[in-house]
Amino acid sequence: MALPRDPTVARQAPQPVESVRLDRWLWAARFFKTRGLAAEAIAGGKVQLNGNRAKPAKPVQVGDNLRVRVGPYEWLVIVRAITERRGSARDAQLLYDELPEGRAARERLAEQHKMAPAPAYTGKGRPTKKERRELRRLEEGDV
């Protein structure tokens, strides 16, 4: 049975966090879908904290510089807020400021990907029966 709450005791607000684990912050800032993926990226050297390789448990503080590579894209950000909780995408964008050179490089890369030709058909596997018949007709001239 739970004890009755004492109304004279004031509820304490959660204490502001001064630092948080790097993998947890990257997850909260929505750079990665899971903390496990964030930890893998950090261990793989895809994340730099203040210009140095870091470990997943390295504490992140306000004002730290991060370089985060996800796939072909790279973010250069400055940490503006610390949280341990994952919120909406709008809330996540308030946790950091993106440097203009990082944004410009990422937009150039996205434009290059749009302009790149679609991958050509490589002819994987054995032709289907229909494709074999069409090939035979082409070779025999029965088109």
Residue 42 lies in a domain: yes
Q: State the pLDDT confidence band at 13, using cuts at 50, 70 and 90.
A: very low
Q: What are phi and psi of 110, to 5 degrees?
A: -65, -40
Cα 128 to Cα 52, 83, 110, 122, 124: the distances in Å are 53, 55, 36, 15, 11
Residue 132 lies in a domain: no
- Residues in contact with 4: Cβ distance below 8 Å, sequence separation at least 6, in sequence order: none
Residue 8 lies in a domain: no
Nearest to 67 by CA among 53, 81, 82, 48: 48
DSSP 48: E
Residue 139 lies in a domain: no
| CATH number, domain containing residue 51 | 3.10.290.10
Residue 78 lies in a domain: yes
Q: How many structural domains is the chain composed of?
A: 1
Residue 49 lies in a domain: yes
Give the pLDDT confidence of 103-112 residue by residue, as tens digits: 999 999 999 9
Give the pLDDT confidence of 47-97 residue by residue, as tens digits: 999 999 999 999 999 999 999 999 999 999 999 999 989 999 999 999 999
pTM over cut 0.75: no
